[in-house]
Amino acid sequence: MIAFLVLAAALWDRPFIVDRPGEVTASVAARCGGCSWASPARTAAVLILEVDGRYSQHLNVTRGERPADYPVRLGRLAAGTHRLGIRLDRGWTPYRALAFAPVLHPRPNELGRFTDVPLVMWYETDGTPRGTRLRYSVIFSNEDGGTPADRLLATWGRLTDIEYVLGIEFDREGRVLEATYQAKDHKIVPYRSLVPGRHPPLWVVTDNNMVSDRGETRPVYAPVPVPFDLATTSREAVMDAQPWTYQVSSQEAQREGRVDESPRPGSHRILDPRRYVYVEACAATRDATLTFGVAVDGRDGLRWSESDAGQGEYRIIRQTSEFPNGCFRGAAALPADAGEATLRALRFRAYTRRTREGEPPIPPGTAAASVLRVNKVFRLGPDFLPGRSLFEWKGALPLVVDGPAGEIDVGAPRTP
C-alpha cells in the first residue's frame, strides 16, 4: 500500500455568500489517505480553517481514508461575500516529523554486504525554552566497530546499535532554529545541509554508525519515523514494539561469527542469544555503575549468572544528562544445562564509577544507587523473538556501593 500525504499549501480557498448576518456553520468533506486513528505512525491529518484570511479553528481529520463530513462553526458573520480557506497544518508534530525525517546513506564498506543496516527510525518530541525539538534515532542491525557483542549484551541487553542521529529545534511558529547531528566520536555538531522541502541527508561514516552531513555514497534508506515516548522506559523498548529486530540482529551475529559455544569472558564473542535472560530496570544513581545477576534452581541451591561475567568494564552506567529516567537494559547468560529453568531471584550490585581523564577522584562514600523498578524480564524463544515478561517489580532497593548485592525474590509480590 502506498499512502500519499497532501503537501499543497492550500487545500481549499473559495468564496461563499451569507444572505443575512448570523451564526454560520459549514460542513467540511475530508479524507486522509493512509490514515487510521488506531495507528501511532499515521493517525490523522490536522487542518487549519481561516475565514477571510483570519484563523478560525483547527480540524482533526479523524475518520481515516473514506471521505466523511465534519460539521464546524465559523462564528457570527455579516451579510455579504466571505472566503473560507483550508490548509494542512505543517507544524503539527506527526506531519512535521515526517517532513523533516532524515534519509540515510550507507558507509562505503557496507556496499555489497548485508551488515549494519538501518531497521527502525523513531522520533521523540521535547519542549525547549524557544519551542520544540524533534530528535531522530535509528536502530541498526549491528555495529561492526565500537562496542563488541558481549559488552553490548551485558550493558545494553541487545545486539543492535541504537544511535541518535539528528535533532531539529523549531520556534513556536514552526520555523527552524537549529539543526544538529551526532558525528564521529559522538560529538554533537551543527547540521549544514538543511534545505526547505528536502529530507535532510545523512551519511554513515564510521563503523559504529556515526553520521555526517557530507558523503559520497549514492544508495539511500528512507524508513518512516515512528513516534515513541521513552519517559518511563529504556530506548530498547522501541525494539520490543518491533520484535523482529531481535531476530534480525541475532541472525546477523550468527552469520558474522560472533556466536560461540563457549566464549571466554571478555573475548567479544557471545553464547547463543537464546541463552540469555534480558532485564530492564530503572535506578537512581550518583557516580555509580551497576550489574545484576539472575538465579535459577541448582543442585545445592540457587545458581547465579552475572551480567558482567566478572569483567569490570562490562558494568552498566547511565549518565542522567543522557538518560534522565535511569532506565537500562542488560543480559546475563544462563548455564548450558539450565534449559527453560524458572527464574527464582534477581540481585543488583553497585560500584563507584571510574573517573574520566582529567577528572578528580570521587570522594569515598559519596557514590549512591537505588533500584526503583524492574520493568520486564524476558528470554528469546526458539525463533529469536522475545517472549512474555517473566517478572515486574516496583519499590525501592537501596544498594551499598562497593558492597554486597541487593536481592529481589522473583516469587515476591510484584508491587510491594
Determine if residue 197 is left, alpha or beta; phi over 0 gives left, psi from -120 to 50 gives alpha, anything else beta: left
- For residues 209 and 116, the answer to whether their CB atoms sit within 8 Å is yes
pLDDT at 383: 97
pLDDT exceeds 70 at position 49: yes
Report how far residue 206's alpha carbon sits from residue 143's, in angstroms, rounded to the nearest whole number.
9
Q: Is 106 exposed, middle or buried (0-12, 13-18, 19+ CB in 10 A)?
A: buried
Does residue 160 sit in helix, strand or coil?
coil
**Residue with the three cell numbers 549514492:** 218
Q: How many helices (H) and strands (E) does the chain have?
A: 4, 23
pLDDT at 363: 95
Residue pLDDT, tens place only, 152-200: 999 999 999 999 999 999 988 888 999 999 999 999 999 998 888 789 9
pLDDT at 8: 39
Nearest to 198 by CA among 217, 165, 176: 176
Average pLDDT over residues 343-372: 95
**pTM of the entire structure?**
0.81
CATH topology identical between 12-89 and 271-416 = no
Higher pLDDT, 94 or 380: 380
375 alpha carbon, distance to own chain's centre: 16
Nearest to 294 by CA among 257, 253, 341, 234: 341
Q: How sure is the predictor about 240, in pLDDT bands with cuts at 50, 70 and 90?
A: very high
pLDDT exceeds 90 at position 84: yes
CATH match for 271-416 among 2.20.25, 1.10.3470, 3.30.420, 2.60.60: 2.60.60
pLDDT exceeds 80 at position 331: yes
Strands (E), 213-274: 225-227
Q: How sure is the predictor about 118, in pLDDT bands with cuts at 50, 70 and 90?
A: very high
Higher pLDDT, 253 or 34: 253
Report how far residue 323's alpha carbon sits from residue 188's, in angstroms, rounded to the nearest whole number.
16
Report how far residue 80's alpha carbon sits from residue 22's, in angstroms, rounded to the nearest whole number.
11
Q: Is 373 exposed, middle or buried (0-12, 13-18, 19+ CB in 10 A)?
A: buried
DSSP H or E run through 152? helix 149-156
Tell me the CATH number for domain 12-89.
2.60.120.260
- For residues 225 and 136, the answer to whether their CB atoms sit within 8 Å is yes
CA angle 333, 408, 262 (to 5 degrees): 10
Query: Do β-strands 288-298 and 343-352 pair in parallel, antiparallel, or remain unpaired?
Result: antiparallel
Q: What is the DSSP letter of 206?
A: S
Report how far residue 307's alpha carbon sits from residue 280's, in angstroms, rounded to the nearest whole number.
12
Torsion of CA 280, 282, 286, 290, to 10 degrees: -30
pLDDT exceeds 50 at position 329: yes
Work out whether the CA dihedral 189, 194, 200, 205 comes out positive or negative.
negative
pLDDT exceeds 70 at position 414: no
Domain ranges across the chain: 12-89, 90-264, 271-416
- Considering 188-202, 254-268, 313-327, 368-382, the range whose residues carry the highest mean pLDDT is 368-382
Does residue 146 sit in helix, strand or coil?
coil
Strands (E), 112-241: 118-128, 131-140, 161-171, 176-183, 187-190, 201-204, 211-212, 225-227
Q: How sure is the predictor about 149, in pLDDT bands with cuts at 50, 70 and 90?
A: very high
pLDDT at 397: 98
pLDDT at 91: 64
Higher pLDDT, 250 or 172: 250
Nearest to 285 by CA among 312, 246, 318: 318
Higher pLDDT, 42 or 282: 282
pLDDT at 10: 66
Q: How sure is the predictor about 35, in pLDDT bands with cuts at 50, 70 and 90?
A: confident
Grid cell for residue 201: 541527508
The proportion of the chain whose per-residue pLDDT surpasses 70, expressed as a percent, equals 94
Report how far residue 56's alpha carbon sits from residue 90's, in angstroms, rounded to the nearest whole number.
16
Considering the chain, what is the average pLDDT of its residues? 91
Lowest mean pLDDT among 62-71, 306-315, 376-385: 62-71
Lowest mean pLDDT among 30-34, 246-250, 256-260, 294-298: 30-34
Does residue 35 sit in helix, strand or coil?
coil
254 CB contacts (<8 Å, ≥6 apart)? none
- For residues 400 and 350, the answer to whether their CB atoms sit within 8 Å is yes
Q: How sure is the predictor about 234, in pLDDT bands with cuts at 50, 70 and 90?
A: very high
Average pLDDT over residues 97-104: 91
